[in-house]
Every structure is written in C-alpha cells, then in structure tokens.
Amino acid sequence: MTPVDSVQLDTVRTIASKRPHTVQLRSAEMQHQQEEEGEDGEEEEQEEEQQEEGEEVEEEQEEENEEDKKEKQQEEREEEEEEEGKKGEEEEEGEREKRRRMRRDAATLGIICSLGLC
C-alpha cells in the first residue's frame, strides 16, 4: 500500500466513524446497484436464451416443413407410378383380350372352312 492509499484509507475510516449511517447508506446503495446490474445481466441472459430457443424452434419447424414437402412429393411420385402401372396393366390386358379374340375367330374360321362352309 502506498502512503497516499493509507492516508485515504485513514480518512475514510475517520469519516466512517463520525458518520456511520452515511457509510452504511452508501454501501447499501452500492450493494443495491450491484444487485440491479446483476439482475439486468440475468434478464439479458434470459432474453438471449429465449431468443436462441425461438430460433431453434423456427429451425426445427423449417426442417419439419421441408421433410413434409419431401414426403408429399414422394407420395405424389408413388401415386403417379401406380397410375402409370395401372394404365400399363390395362393396356396389356386389352392386348391379351384382343389376341384371344383373334385366336378364337381364327379357330372358328378354321372350323367353318374345314366344314366347307366358307
């Protein structure tokens, strides 16, 4: 401690002994001010945390929306493929039925001709 610091400390002690209530008030004011600053810091931290949580929730919602879009697109593709498959099956069935009729007609014509009716 420098001589100046010790003189100032002695002066503060002297003043404090003569007016203890003033020193107590000042220390109480300082303590209260420190508490308020601490509360302000806590409030700021809480606000930051809430803001971060809000951002996280928004990101999660965006991800869910993207996943939903992808699922819908996949379902639409599957439905289109099913429809195309059904159309293809219907066309194949139509071709089969046409061949059956042609064979039946040919067989009928063969029978008619073998009987000498053609």
Which tens digit of pLDDT belongs to each residue from 30-79?
776 777 766 666 778 888 888 888 888 899 999 999 999 999 999 999 99
* 17: confidence class by pLDDT, cuts 50, 70, 90: low
> Mean pLDDT score of the chain, rounded to an integer?
81
13 confidence band (pLDDT: 50, 70, 90): low
Q: What is the 3-class SS of the chain, one letter each residue?
A: CCHHHHHHHHHHHHHHHHCHHHHHHHHHHHHHHHHHHHHHHHHHHHHHHHHHHHHHHHHHHHHHHHHHHHHHHHHHHHHHHHHHHHHHHHHHHHHHHHHHHHHHHHHHHHHHHHCCCC
Confidence of residue 92 (pLDDT cuts 50, 70, 90): very high
pLDDT at residue number 102: 95
